[in-house]
């Protein structure tokens, strides 16, 4: 896809990532340990088997929610904020656990957009982003706001 500018984004527009990202145990464990998260549900199989053997975990390591969110945001950038930068994330909801072997996709709906009041030649866009797994089940959702240039403008 080509670069995306403020003019290209339409309120009500819906985009689904064409590329998915399959999560591995190594991804999850490294992300969790790199961020100093010491919740063993993300990296200790013995712990999860002993303490989370029931549904929906069934003794499996659970993918770190912040990693899930980072992947879903990354999958949405191609269609939204590729030329811009993030201003904020709100209303984050984790709706279902993610496990090693799950493949994530991002669905984006454009909620609102306006010209920036402080940076001429830029717009502020608000989107609802939903993370989906390989079965098209919603695993998370959030509202993200970013700033993006109009065509032929630079910061």
Helix, coil or strand: residue 14: strand
| pLDDT given at position 1 | 56
Alpha carbon 154 to chain centroid, angstroms: 26
Does 155 score more than 80 pLDDT?
no
Is residue 1 assigned to a domain? no
Is residue 90 assigned to a domain? yes
- Total number of domains in the chain: 1
Interval 13-24: pLDDT, tens: 999 999 999 999
Is residue 129 assigned to a domain? yes
Is residue 69 assigned to a domain? yes
Query: 85 and 6 in contact (C-beta within 8 Å)?
Result: no
Q: How many residues does the chain have?
A: 155
Is residue 38 assigned to a domain? no
The CATH number for 103's domain is: 3.10.129.10
**pTM of the full structure:** 0.92
Diameter of the chain measured on Cα atoms: 58
* 43 φ/ψ sector (left φ>0, alpha ψ -120 to 50, else beta): alpha
Does 124 score more than 60 pLDDT?
yes
Per the omega criterion (within 30 degrees of 0), is the bond before 128 cis?
no
Interval 40-93: pLDDT, tens: 999 999 999 999 999 999 999 999 999 999 999 999 999 899 889 999 999 999
Residue keyed to tokens 């980072």: 70
| pLDDT given at position 152 | 82
Average pLDDT of span 132-147: 98
Average confidence score pLDDT of the chain: 95
| pLDDT given at position 51 | 97
Residue keyed to tokens 């032929």: 152
| Domain that includes residue 131, residue range | 6-22+63-149
Is residue 36 assigned to a domain? no
| pLDDT given at position 153 | 76
Does 154 score more than 80 pLDDT?
no
């Amino acid at each position: 896809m080509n670069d995306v500018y403020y003019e290209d984004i339409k309120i009500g527009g819906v985009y689904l990532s064409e590329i998915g990202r399959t999560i591995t145990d190594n991804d999850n464990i490294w992300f969790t340990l790199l961020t100093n998260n010491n919740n063993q549900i993300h990296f200790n199989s013995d712990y999860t088997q002993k303490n989370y053997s029931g549904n929906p975990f069934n003794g499996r390591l659970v993918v770190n929610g912040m990693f899930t969110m980072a992947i879903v945001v990354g999958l949405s950038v191609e269609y939204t904020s590729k030329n811009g930068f993030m201003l904020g994330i709100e209303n984050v909801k984790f709706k279902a656990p993610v496990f090693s072997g799950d493949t994530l996709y991002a669905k984006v709906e454009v909620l609102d957009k306006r010209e920036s009041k402080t940076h001429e030649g830029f717009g502020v866009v608000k989107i609802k982003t939903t993370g989906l797994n390989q079965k098209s089940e919603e695993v998370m959702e959030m509202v993200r706001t970013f700033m993006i240039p109009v065509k032929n403008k630079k910061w």
